[in-house]
Chains A and B, each alone.
Chain A
Amino acid sequence: MNNSLKSSVPTDREVILGILNNSEDTLNKLYKAYYPMVLQFILNNNGDEDDAKDVYQEAIIVLYNKIKEGNFELSSKLKTYIYSVCRRIWLKKLSHNSKKAGNITDYEDVLIVEEDLEDHEGKDLQFVKMQSALDHLGEPCKTIIQDFYIHNLSMQDICEKFGYTNTDNAKTQKYKCLQRLKKIFFQP
């Protein structure tokens, strides 16, 4: 029954279940389904392709985290939700650059998404804090920590990669790095 053209746009239920099950395919379909809408909105409201990418990805992250937290209630169409989040983020960016945002050209209905974005901004702050702590750490510490905690390499792998004589040495080095990172991270 389904139109073959429409099969590329996942239904809202598919998206939520897919994200909860870590489906890469769903994320891929979701991303491609609504990107053109956001690109059109940004291009016609004082932005360029890069702005569209930044804003859209931020909105997808907001949606993704909200679904993962399990408190996403589908009270409207997903499309409307994504559009509203993007719109809010973009308005904020525009006013930040003291550009006039008086007459926004709209393409969709708009929801109120202030709360969701405040949540997200809090999380983003933590993200930026960790990133700047890692940037201040210096090498080889940064790479060791990233390999272990982000890329999930084993101590054995790290030992070989950095040419430590044994894993104990690598471990000691890792904990020294960790100590420094924590010190930077917890700095007020």
Chain B
Amino acid sequence: MPAKVKENIFSTIIIEMRNDLELDAIIEDYLLGKLNPQETEAFETLRSNDATVDHKVVSHKFFLESMEMYAAQLRLKEQLNQIHAEIDVETLASSFRPHPSKVVQLWRKHKSAIAVAASFLVLSLVSVYSIQHNSKQKEQLVLLSNQVNKAIKTQNNLIRKINNNSSSAGKPAIQNSFGGTGFAISTNGYILTNLHVINGADSLYVQNNKGESFKVKSIYTDSQNDIAILKISDKNFSHLSSIPYSIKKSTSSIGETVYTLGYPKDDAVLGEGYVSSKNGFIGDTTQYQVSIPVNPGNSGGPLLDNNGNLVGIISGKPDQTEGAAFAIKSKYILEAMRAIPQDSLGSNKLSSSTKKSLLSGLKRTKQIEKLQDYVFMIKVYN
């Protein structure tokens, strides 16, 4: 018996659905003017008597109009794309692009003007004196290049030695530990940091802002760009909620306000400043120079702009310039993320900034509140 009851209910549902579909069909024919006069009249009577039917007609009309607009727009876009394909964009573009040779030409023009001025000067001076002057200039140049060489040797990596008391105590070294900073690039426990932070490690741990430690493994290293990706391999680790920052694909301009959160001590420290140069250590184009006070332990920390876009990774600082630091540009983060198996990061990973990040429009204090769950202290034991 119950089976039969079921069957009955089922068939009424089907009939209702069928009627619904037929009603939709009639409404569409009515709106498109496909009904004959009698049918139209009959339908209009039904419509004026039944508020539900009337509502359906109104909503279907709106829907059809939206669809018509959508279709028209789509056709127009297709048409524009066809026209666009006929244009030789490459040739046009090369004629408009700000041309480097133009800059060079300007410089040359400038130079000749200087040369004229200089020759004027030379004429008014004793020739021997001018030769001396020239040789002096050369010497200065050499000196400068020497300084550059020195600078190469003295770039500091910002790793922090946490306890190195064993050597001072004269006991055999039991355990040395170093620290740096890292940040989450996916919700399932992938963390990105500098390679120099974890180089030569025997065991690696990360610690979050609540003080919980998790064991991590190194998954991927890129020695050229000084990037390493770690994976939390601890079963006590619970997934993070979605990553609040996104990767900035374009390069940042000089003067853009940026900040970083890192672990130069056992608590997270905020450093704020601005991009001070588009290139890093002696013209290294893979890095920015930023004006942020950083300390050992800041290495591997995320560098963000006001809208929560990831601009780079703090990686080092020059020895002789106070208050400056270097940061690896964000596009190398993307490259590193592409280098590991895509499905391992899960669906909820760090993405490039096509839409606004969750941090966008928030005050700095709120941004930090959100950010701090995603920035980790890296603890290295060797």
Given contacts A61-B76, A97-B353, A100-B256, contact A123 B93 (CB under 8 A): no
Complex formed: what's the CA distance from A35 to B98 in Å? 17
Chain B residues within an 8 Å CB radius of A80: none
B119 contacts chain A at the CB level, 8 A cutoff: no
Complex formed: what's the CA distance from A94 to B212 in Å? 40
Given contacts A131-B70, A178-B24, contact A31 B255 (CB under 8 A): no
Verify A31–B70 contact, CB threshold 8 A. Answer: no
Q: Give the dominant DSSP class at B's interface.
A: helix
Q: Give the dominant DSSP class at A's interface.
A: helix
Verify B76–A64 contact, CB threshold 8 A. Answer: yes
Verify A98–B84 contact, CB threshold 8 A. Answer: no
Chain B residues within an 8 Å CB radius of A115: none
Among B70, B76, B96, the residue within 8 A (CB) of A130 is B70
B25 contacts chain A at the CB level, 8 A cutoff: yes
Chain B residues within an 8 Å CB radius of A86: none
| A-facing residues in B21-76 (Cβ within 8 Å) | 21, 24-25, 59-60, 63, 66-71, 73-76
B87 contacts chain A at the CB level, 8 A cutoff: yes
A26 CB to nearest B CB, Å = 11
A140 contacts chain B at the CB level, 8 A cutoff: no
Given contacts A130-B70, A149-B71, A182-B63, contact A57 B253 (CB under 8 A): no
A55 CB to nearest B CB, Å = 12
Binding site for A on B (CB under 8 A): 20-21, 24-25, 59-60, 63, 66-71, 73-77, 79-81, 83-84, 86-87, 89-90, 92-93, 96-98, 248, 250, 253, 255-256, 305-307, 309, 353, 356
9 chain-A/chain-B pairs, Cβ below 8 angstroms = A31-B83, A39-B89, A57-B80, A60-B80, A126-B70, A149-B67, A175-B24, A176-B21, A185-B66
Binding site for B on A (CB under 8 A): 24, 27-28, 31-32, 35-36, 39-40, 43-44, 46, 49, 53, 57, 60-61, 64, 96-100, 123, 126-127, 129-131, 149-150, 171-172, 175-176, 178-179, 182, 185-186
